[in-house]
Amino acid sequence: MAQQIRRNGTTGVRRAAKAQSRAVTARRAQGRASSLLDAVMGVLPFTEDQWSRIWLAMIIGGAVGVAFIIASLAGVPALAQAQVARMAADAGFEVRHVRVTGTSRMDEQLVYARALATRNQAMPEVDAAALRTELRRLPWVKDARVSIQLPHTLAIDIVERVPHAVLEKPDRLVLIDAGGVELEPVSAAKAKGLLRLAGPGAAQQAKALERLLAAAPALSPQVAAAEWVGNRRWNLTFRTGQLLALPEGEVAAATALVKFARLDGQNRLLGGKVLAFDMRSPPRLYMRLPEGVREAPTTTAGGML
């Protein structure tokens, strides 16, 4: 009988030891998992507060998703959307901050004025595509990116148009981009140094003029103004005050400009006594001199003066 008692005592000790060993193993595994999770969270660029918000967003987002699915299956999607919006707003997911980036020339208050219409609106109700479309109607805005950053920030990144020239109108000067889009009125002082365009329809020909000047890159920086004449051809005015009348047609005008650039390189036409050069009748080049100076010679555009 005593021997039996000893065996039972031994068995109980072994069982207790095994149970204790399993508990230790479980704690070690839990510790390793916790350490691994802490290490991963430490590597990622989030603070503890940001992690709390992320987990909260995931939990609430899951709950909102379930509610939306249930309401949709019940055949009331509009009610589901309204319920989702209310839940999101109650959880703090509403527009409280608007962040605008990318503006350097335009008045960013124009952007805020449109974005703040979403102020205190629940995040699920914000129509980012509609806001982007509205922002792109602003003259300076070439493109806009609108993103929702949970829990309560609306981020707007603006891609501005680049001023290319100044359009001369009867009553004012207007900045335009390379595509001829009017940006804003500008004073004569601020317009100084920019290419000036004049003539009916000149803004719509801005891209064509850019291609034309690219044909003679050495002359392009010396062009101060360009007049679109009769909706068919260009008169160029150089920084020297001299005028060059080009023929009609993109190819003919580019060809004439390249020939003029070559003649200028050979004979230094710009900065000389000639007031105006007329190349409207290629290949002839006519020159007009000031009063009192002998009549200017006429030459072929491909020959020497």
pLDDT by residue for the chain (305 residues), tens only, comes to: 444 444 555 555 556 556 566 655 656 555 555 555 555 555 555 566 665 666 666 666 666 566 556 655 555 555 445 544 454 444 445 778 889 999 999 999 999 988 887 766 776 678 889 999 999 999 999 999 998 887 778 899 999 999 999 999 999 999 999 999 999 999 999 999 999 999 999 999 999 999 999 999 999 999 999 999 999 999 999 999 999 999 999 999 999 999 999 999 999 999 999 999 999 998 889 999 988 665 555 555 444 34
- pLDDT given for residue 109 in this prediction: 92
Let me know whether 78 and 153 are in one domain. Answer: no
Domain assignment present for residue 21? The answer is no
- pLDDT given for residue 157 in this prediction: 96
Domain assignment present for residue 39? The answer is no
Let me know whether 103 and 84 are in one domain. Answer: no
Q: Is the dihedral of CA 29, 30, 33, 38 positive or negative?
A: negative
Last residue of a domain, one of 37, 63, 91: 91
Q: What is the DSSP letter of 152?
A: T
Q: What CATH number did the domain enclosing 280 receive?
A: 3.40.50.11690
- pLDDT given for residue 2 in this prediction: 46
User: Phi, psi at residue 301, to the nearest 5°?
Assistant: -65, -20
Q: What CATH number did the domain enclosing 118 receive?
A: 3.10.20.310
pTM above 0.85, yes or no: no
Among the listed residues 142, 183, 176, the one whose alpha carbon sits nearest the alpha carbon of residue 160? 142
Let me know whether 58 and 104 are in one domain. Answer: no
Domain assignment present for residue 38? The answer is no
- What b/e string do you get for 254-275 counting C-beta neighbours within 10 Å, with b at 16 or more? bbbbebbbebbeeeebbeeebb
Domain assignment present for residue 268? The answer is yes
Let me know whether 109 and 86 are in one domain. Answer: no
Domain assignment present for residue 261? The answer is yes
Let me know whether 204 and 272 are in one domain. Answer: yes
Let me know whether 136 and 208 are in one domain. Answer: no
Distance separating alpha carbons of residues 236 and 216, to the nearest angstrom: 13
Domain assignment present for residue 134? The answer is yes
Strands 284-288 and 233-238: unpaired
Domain assignment present for residue 152? The answer is yes
Q: Are 257 and 216 in contact (CB under 8 A)?
A: yes
Domain holding 153, by residue range, is 93-160
Where are the alpha helices (H) located in the chain, listed in sequence order?
2-43, 48-73, 77-90, 109-115, 128-135, 188-191, 206-214, 250-267
- pLDDT given for residue 88 in this prediction: 47
Domain assignment present for residue 10? The answer is no
Let me know whether 211 and 147 are in one domain. Answer: no
Distance separating alpha carbons of residues 260 and 275, to the nearest angstrom: 15
Let me know whether 146 and 257 are in one domain. Answer: no
Q: Count up the domains in the chain and report the number.
A: 3
Q: For 168, how many CA atoms within 13 A lie in the half-sphere containing its CB?
A: 13
Distance separating alpha carbons of residues 270 and 13, to the nearest angstrom: 110
Let me know whether 194 and 296 are in one domain. Answer: yes
Q: Are 144 and 132 in contact (CB under 8 A)?
A: yes
Last residue of a domain, one of 144, 160, 176: 160
Let me know whether 254 and 277 are in one domain. Answer: yes
Last residue of a domain, one of 76, 91, 106: 91
- Tokens 């030459």, residue? 299
Let me know whether 102 and 149 are in one domain. Answer: yes
Let me know whether 230 and 291 are in one domain. Answer: yes
- Three-class SS state of 118: helix
Rounded-to-10 torsion of CA 284, 290, 294, 298? 0
Length of the chain (residues): 305
